[in-house]
Structure 1
């Protein structure tokens, strides 16, 4: 599957998760974090920003750590465990891409 398509699906997953968190619990931080990170990932991918691999790897790495800690402390799989796993997978993919092509979009 194309790397850009995976990044766009990940962006949609983040944005939808934030919207669902807001709809279910009225959590404004969930809405802002989910839609904000999803928008950054999605826009950097859609507009082919040269630093897109770096942007996505920083966001996915940070979300892997943050949501992994929330899952470890709370024990609920959804949403923190699901976001941690998806973010970790995207982070690994971005790390492999960066190791092959460098920090900017060339591949």
Structure 2
């Protein structure tokens, strides 16, 4: 059993993004979405640590978040936070394939 640290890091990034959005702008939707998607991503990372073939929760959570944040980035042209979160999902996969 190997621990999936990259996916746990992604989950922490998403959750902390929601917290920062709430702290800076008082955005309750950012807080709720960040904690919800961060929690789902963390649960998905845990499931993958137990069984590397169990990718469905991670795939659904990150795919949904990437789609939503990708559209926000496309519409606003602002990298922070939408572009960062939309692109961050691909970093663990790229690193995993390079290793």
Shorter-normalised TM-score: what interval?
0.7 to 0.9
Q: Hey, what does 1:15 align to over in structure 2?
A: 15
Give the TM-score taking structure 2 as reference length.
0.79
Change (3 A) 1:22 1:75: same
Indicate the SS of the match to 2:18: helix
Unaligned segments of structure 1, at least 5 residues = 97-107
**Would you say 1:85 and 2:87 are equivalent positions?**
yes
Misfit runs of 4+, over 4 Å: 47-52
Q: Hey, what does 2:55 align to over in structure 1?
A: 53
Give the TM-score taking structure 1 as reference length.
0.73
- Correspondence list, 1:96-107, <5 A: none
RMSD: 2.5
Aligned partners of 2:37 and 2:65 also within 8 Å: no
Indicate the SS of the match to 2:55: helix
Q: Which deviations, in whole Å up to 9, do the C-alpha atoms of 1:57-88 show, x marking residues without a partner?
A: 1111111111111011111100000001012x
Aligned length: 92
